[in-house]
Chain A
């Protein structure tokens, strides 16, 4: 026990030295906390739009107001008209100034789905709802992109964790069995796994998605995507677990456990799999981005989460039209969040690998 602790402790010390990994971890902690408090952090509801603000650019925050420094900054109401070229021309109405405020009353929501709150982290106090602060600008129907990104993180950030969990279970059971029993079971299981690895994963994803109706509600699609992704992911993971099980099963203490008549399940679960744990953690951390990207890809091409629900991929789907990117480049922002999250997981995974690998 104390050796184990020492090992963990040393790994922790090593991890702390990996500055990129630590940064990645903190970024992820921040994103996940924001996700938990989405209702509070997002100033507007998921579907609360103002059509008069269609494609409003990010609200200018004025830190200088009436020639003096202003904090919190001031926003002016925006409105637009089409100019002679039919471009949206936004005009700030500087006669009206509203200070950005914190803990502002706004849309009534339920925090964690149960605690009713009216106050949001920030916002502007405009009871008419015409002046709005849109940090990342608005989409076509005038909804706050920032709020939608915050709400969308619930899909994008959880799909990886849930998917990895299922992959983990499937991979452990199948890989462990194949490695432990060997022989025909091993052959059948591994050849089956190879089947799934023989087809490009994106093709497999499309084929699996096509087995279900295209018009499912977003909540169902969310579960479906998790299932599809784990269905694709288990193969390679279980192959590696099988390899490790194979070598561990030959060790003396496993033979000893067999000799004293421990059940197969006990040997696999208690004596073998825990030894693959450090590897599994690293490998699974590094595979989370794959799930996030998979969800984004499906939603991007319209086979995943659909409006009015939001995920980062679905939000980025609004940028698939070149004219939209040209005139409203801020709709690319959800992509930045995907990028940051994927990078953070990659950093974290690398750091964990360095820390947990006894050979380094």
Chain B
């Protein structure tokens, strides 16, 4: 216990030292922004109370689960449910977003960082009372994840390091050893990978029917789990019910079996209005609210039946980016991007001018009802440890935008209120975003007017999400500027696809054989170094540098993040709201006040 744990300790110390950097667009006289860093600090010191066993919590979701199979699942609607059912060797702490022991009690790392030995907790059981052993781990990796018959497999890519599988072997029933081809820093975090029971699934794998297993029509009783809850029933477009797993490994400080709750019920709701109403009536216990619903909820909070929490910026960025592809179509020899436009888009001064021209404050006020935060770099505060708060910012400043454009040679030479570049080409380009996302559409509308107001001529288009992705990632890369969004994550390396110049999601110039600019070269080397750097502090320094460089070179011009607004019924106790983890991260310790059944 080991180097990993020691470095974990130093991380949390470091986290609490991080400067309290409040970034919130607010006008004088406005309602106060929330000090989410203070809430986070409080959350880290939270000591859970000893609860009472029993009761249930009712949550809501918009979409039906598509399967309960954590290996083949590709959509988030599945992991929303499987997170209750399965645990990995480690789990990600809901407050710190850092890995902590779960099925494994501890681990040793060899000096070269290539051999990791995990010691399972003694006496832990599957929900059908069969012991959880190293054989289950070996089975999950060797026969499920690395089994090419099982398609799709969402986690296979993560565990192929330099395209090579890990060597996974059970040394004895409680010890499992991983041998890595090269050091892999995010390894520990990726071991939150769900482990599945060997004794249930081995015969199914032999029959080659595992891809269909754990579907929505599978008998819930056959789903043997290690997590706090087992599936009890699922009724299409009505509800998903989980019951407590009596053999879950966690116990509270006085030795009571966790979880406290008998049941977690997901009510499948039709729309946000229905969800809001049901929450206000007490029919559901938890609500993730939008900014425009905040006033109404805050007023009703006074009645005392629920509490509203503002927890700082959410994850899930929206960003504007320009096509910087210098490639040529191999068939026709024509450049993908018109050379005039390419010279603008590849000019960092131009991109900075665009960044200054975006009225982030208005986006927050208009789209998010004042409840939002500007974003400047790829990571968000809610993503925890690796977030770098001190990067270059581009507060809305038309003067500065115009000055930078002038510096880049753009002037309105013929007084038509459209700028022209040095050669006299009008600053004219297309701009598109996907339809179907209301928040993003409204942001795009504001961006369009912002860019027009500094003298760009914009051809705005809404496209289906799929067609935008197709345009960005396929030849002939026919696009100029796009507003899109990505969901974030706590581990920077998992964004390699976007940030490494060879990545296929390196949207401004995907799948480069050789980085096309010096700053891309340096970001490439950060990602190459970061993945093998096992010292967490040195790693943080690397990724800090990446975030600074991303903000300085603005390949992606970030816009705004919505505030996390969560409401929870007051009958639910032991809640520990955390900007990093939200409200439900400690669901196994949530309990219901007895006698509070009247709704």
Residues of A within 8 A of B (CB): 47, 49, 51, 54, 81-87, 140-141, 214-215, 302, 306-308, 321-324, 326-327
Contact = CB atoms under 8 A, between A and B. Distances in A.
B462 A86 contact: no
- A-B CB proximity, top 6 nearest: A323-B292, A81-B29, A82-B370, A51-B362, A85-B295, A87-B295
Contact of A322 (B32, B273, B299): B273
Given A141-B449, A215-B462, A322-B273, A83 B296 contact: no
B442 interface: yes
Interface residues of B, number: 32
Interface in B425-479: 435, 442, 445-446, 449, 461-464
Contact of A85 (B290, B298, B446): B298
B31 interface: yes
A160 B31 CA distance: 47
B463 A215 contact: yes
A49 B371 CA distance: 22
B31 A86 contact: yes
B27 interface: yes
B369 A86 contact: yes
B295 A51 contact: no
Interface string B14-50: 0000000000000101111000000000000000000
B31 A306 contact: no
Nearest to A321: B292
A306 B296 contact: no
Interface in B356-381: 359, 362, 365-367, 369-371
Nearest to A55: B366
B435 A86 contact: no
B480 to A, nearest CB: 16
A54 B365 contact: yes
Given A323-B293, A323-B296, A51 B435 contact: no
User: Chain A interface secondary structure, helix, strand, loop or mixed?
Assistant: loop
Nearest to A323: B292
B291 interface: yes
B294 interface: yes
Contacts of B293: 323
Nearest to B299: A85
Contact of B366 (A81, A140, A215, A306): A140
Interface of B: 27, 29-32, 273, 290-296, 298-299, 359, 362, 365-367, 369-371, 435, 442, 445-446, 449, 461-464
A86 B442 contact: no
Contact of B445 (A83, A141, A302): A141
A71 B371 CA distance: 41
Given A86-B371, A141-B446, A215-B461, 4 more contacts: A54-B366, A83-B31, A141-B445, A141-B449
Contacts of B273: 322
Contacts of B449: 47, 49, 141
B292 A85 contact: no
B362 A215 contact: no
Given A85-B295, A85-B298, A322-B273, A141 B366 contact: yes
Contacts of A324: 292
9 contacts: A47-B449, A51-B365, A82-B370, A84-B32, A86-B291, A86-B369, A214-B464, A302-B435, A321-B292
A82 B435 contact: no
Contacts of A214: 435, 462, 464
B294 A81 contact: no
Contacts of A85: 31, 294-295, 298-299
A287 B30 CA distance: 51
B366 A86 contact: no
The winner among A49, A84, A140, A327 for most chain B CB atoms within 10 A is A140
A326 B31 contact: no
A51 B359 contact: yes
A261 B442 CA distance: 66
B62 to A, nearest CB: 16
Contacts of B370: 82, 86
A322 B442 CA distance: 17
A51 B366 contact: yes
A86 B298 contact: yes
Contact of A306 (B30, B290, B295, B462): B462
B379 to A, nearest CB: 26
A82 B294 CA distance: 12
Nearest to B462: A215
Nearest to A84: B31
B291 A140 contact: no
Nearest to B464: A214
B544 to A, nearest CB: 33
A343 B30 CA distance: 44
A307 B366 contact: no
Contacts of B27: 81
A82 B292 contact: no
A82 B464 contact: no
A86 B464 contact: no
Nearest to A49: B449
Nearest to A215: B462
Nearest to B292: A323
Nearest to B563: A86
A352 B370 CA distance: 53
Contacts of B31: 82-86
Contacts of A321: 292
A49 B27 CA distance: 20
B274 to A, nearest CB: 10
B296 A326 contact: yes
A324 B367 CA distance: 11
Contacts of B461: 215
Nearest to B367: A140
A86 B294 contact: yes
A140 B31 CA distance: 19
A321 B293 CA distance: 11
Contacts of B445: 141, 307-308
